[in-house]
Structure 1
Amino acid sequence: MRAATYQGPGEITVEDVPKPEVESPEDAVIRVTHTAVCGSDLWFYRGESDREEGSRVGHEPMGIVEEVGDDVTSVEPGDRVLAPFAISCGECEFCRKGLYTSCVKDESWSGENGGGQGEYVKCPHADGTLVRVPDRYADDEDTLESLLPLTDVMGTGHHAAVSAGVGEGDTAVVIGDGAVGLCGVLAAQRLGAERVIAMGHHEERLELAEEFGATDTIAARGDEAIERARELTHGGANHVMECVGAASAMDTAIAIARPGGTVGYVGVPYGVTEEGLDVFTMFSDNITLNGGVAPVRAYAEELMDDVLQGTLDPSPIFTKTVGLDDIDEGYRAMDEREAIKVLVKP
């Protein structure tokens, strides 16, 4: 089969690799029909995080089940499924409490499982991981493109809103205008926020944030952005969603949180460890920091229900579509901010 592989900073190539096979009674093999390039993929693409050259990449697959092991009961060959970015057994202590990203099995889509940006993947814990799409929507392309973000960014944006404690009638500030931040706007609006303030650096993305339900947008940077957010919230927000991961974004989130407020953070934290956090402000203002890597499997069914009912549609985050052979162009477009998120159709 063909799969995207990392060959060094700025270089993604499509190579012929062994097709994964069912090896365990809990396995399922899926023919990938839709996948995507994630903002977190850009860290290794830019050489800012370590990754083995030649490794297969991608973690947001959707497709058709081709084969299952003898113990798999939740799906069967021919079923349409989506797969959260984290593989989970569904049975361990952490999976049972909904913290699927801490599954003790510690499996990923890379390596012998095929990589999410390829023609096939193997799911080693099919019953604990895969989410079956109802048959009536299995070939509805518009619906499928709306469901694909549930593999990662929509669930992650939702986790930011949940972690920040967003509820009916609240004011929420969303930091970041990437795919996760934009999905965070959708999530805050879905949870009943009366006011959603989106902060970012790209006017066209903030326009999409408004389409998603943002009532206000802030395109300023640094202290000017913080001052503007505090003005709009009359001194700070009770619910702040950090959807970037950079140290500067976390500092901004803490600075605009109201005393007693909560920062829900889901951005992959690059640079935060080295530069540190403003712990004193959190301490003195009793600011709660809540969040982490999103257990998107815990949210998949409820978000899918809304997509299928037509009340949730994150698909506009896909602003470019490529075939697998052109996936390097997809990475380049996201790296150069020409695309919010790239849809890949193997």
Structure 2
Amino acid sequence: MKAVVYNGPHDVAVKNVPDAQIQRPTDVLVRITSTNICGSDLHMYEGRTDFEKGSIFGHENFGEVIEIGEAVDRVKVGDLVVLPFNIGCGFCKNCERGLSAFCLTTANPGMAGAAYGFADMGPYPGGQAELLRVPYGDYNCLLLPPDAREKEADYVMVADIFPTGWHATRLAGLCPGESIVIYGAGPVGLMAAYSAMIQGACMVMVVDHHADRLRLAESIGAIAIDDSQVNPVDQVMALTNGIGADRGCECVGYQCHDHHGKEIPGLTMNNLVNSVKFTGGIGVVGVFVPQDPGGPTKLAKEGEIPFDWGLLWFRGQHVGTGQCNVKAYNRQLRDLISVGRATPSFIVSHHLPLDEAPDAYKNFDERNDGWTKVILHPG
């Protein structure tokens, strides 16, 4: 089968690799028809993780079931499914508590959580390929309604970025009628803004300096704050009568840059503390890692950031963090799409064949204008 393979920093290629296949009775084999490039793929693409050379990318996957293991009884051949990026077993302590991002069965030893094509998260190849093996298929496959082909670009977003954006707002504690500020207008930040709109936020502010992304934020009714033109904290304060937003979301992560292009890993976290009101809540879904050999400072290389803990404590704010437990949200988000209440595909800028993945990675990584979200189509 063809697959997108990591050769080293800034170097991916579409190669022929051995076909994915059923390995255990609980497995499902899926023919992938849509697979997204995610912002978190770029950390690995840039060599800022220990993603191994020869690994296959791709954790946002949609396709058709073509084979099932002997122990699978819910999922059938021919079903159209979207796969949560986190791989859970369904029966460990964390999965039973709804914390599928921290599965204890599928993880590497000493870790919690597994994912397709992701550094340190198990030995599972990704789905930027023609075929994908899905462990514990009955648990991990989300069955889709009859409009799945028609709305394929929407449903594939349920693999990761739509639930992750939703998760950011839940970690922050958003309630209807509250204001929220979101740092980062990449795909996840836009999904957090979109989720906040669906949940009834009275004001959604989005901070970024990429004009194409800010235009998308405005297209759903959010207030765009261009931090290359204004101080974002001052602007949030002005918009909230000096009080600060009720809630805030960090949707950038450890490779945060200012508008001059300087990498400042703690910038968005400290801006959020200053942008969110006393006793407000902050949700952090941007990726932060325990170590970053490519970090710009000694602290960053050790996975640490300068953080204004004193002000956070003084303001009585709470912070929720961690990868999204996709299965906690994916059925509800699927149903919002099915009835027409949500169309997350508004962020998609490019539909490309799998063979064009190397150019897509390059353009997406360089944040070139108009490259907001890429869906690759194998076959």
Q: With the length of structure 1 as denominator, give the TM-score of the two structures.
A: 0.95
Structure 2 residue 200 is matched with structure 1 residue 181:
no
Once the 2 structures are TM-superposed, how far is the Cα of residue 304 of structure 1 from its aligned partner?
0.6
**Equivalent position SS for 2:282:** strand
**Equivalent position SS for 1:137:** coil
Partner residue of 2:234 out of 223, 227, 242: 227
Name the structure where helix makes up a greater proportion of residues. 1
Structure 2 residue 268 is matched with structure 1 residue 249:
yes
2:339 aligns with: 309
1:328 aligns with: 358
Once the 2 structures are TM-superposed, how far is the Cα of residue 65 of structure 1 from its aligned partner?
0.4
Partner residue of 1:160 out of 142, 165, 168: 168
Q: Deviations over 1:107-166 (max 9, x none)?
A: 4324875421000000111112110112x21331xx110111111111110001111111
Structure 2 residue 195 is matched with structure 1 residue 195:
no
Residues 109 and 121 in structure 1, CA contact (< 8 A), matched pair in contact too: no
**Equivalent position SS for 2:64:** strand
In structure 1, what is the Cα distance between the partners aligned to 2:288 and 2:115? 19
Once the 2 structures are TM-superposed, how far is the Cα of residue 289 of structure 1 from its aligned partner?
0.5
**Equivalent position SS for 1:63:** strand
Aligned residues: CA RMSD: 1.6
Once the 2 structures are TM-superposed, how far is the Cα of residue 223 of structure 1 from its aligned partner?
7.9
Structure 2 residue 180 is matched with structure 1 residue 172:
yes
1:345 aligns with: 377
Kindly provide the amino acid, as one letter, of the partner of residue 185 in structure 2. D
Alignment CA distance shift 1:112-1:120 (3 Å): farther
1:114-133 map, 5 Å: 114-133=125-144
In structure 2, what is the Cα distance between the partners aligned to 1:249 and 1:126? 38
Partner residue of 1:151 out of 144, 159, 182: 159
In structure 2, what is the Cα distance between the partners aligned to 1:191 and 1:208? 19
Residues 182 and 212 in structure 1, CA contact (< 8 A), matched pair in contact too: no
1:282 aligns with: 312
Kindly provide the amino acid, as one letter, of the partner of residue 31 in structure 2. R
1:138 aligns with: 148
Q: Deviations over 1:277-326 (max 9, x none)?
A: 21111111111011311111210000010001111011021111211111
Q: Deviations over 1:66-94 (max 9, x none)?
A: 11112112211100000011111112111
Kindly provide the amino acid, as one letter, of the partner of residue 226 in structure 1. V
**Equivalent position SS for 2:154:** helix
1:261 aligns with: 280
In structure 2, what is the Cα distance between the partners aligned to 1:289 and 1:221? 26
In structure 1, what is the Cα distance between the partners aligned to 2:212 and 2:356? 25
Counting matched residue pairs gives 342
In structure 1, what is the Cα distance between the partners aligned to 2:52 and 2:124? 16
Stretches of structure 2 lacking an aligned partner (at least 5 in a row): 108-113, 255-265, 290-294
The 4+ residue runs of structure 1 with deviation greater than 3 A are 110-114, 270-273
**Equivalent position SS for 1:206:** helix
Residues 167 and 191 in structure 1, CA contact (< 8 A), matched pair in contact too: yes
Residues 55 and 125 in structure 2, CA contact (< 8 A), matched pair in contact too: no
Residues 171 and 194 in structure 1, CA contact (< 8 A), matched pair in contact too: yes
Q: Deviations over 1:152-195 (max 9, x none)?
A: 11111000111111121111111111000000111001111111
Q: Deviations over 1:258-289 (max 9, x none)?
A: 11011011000256632232111111111101
Q: Percent of pairs identical after alignment?
A: 35
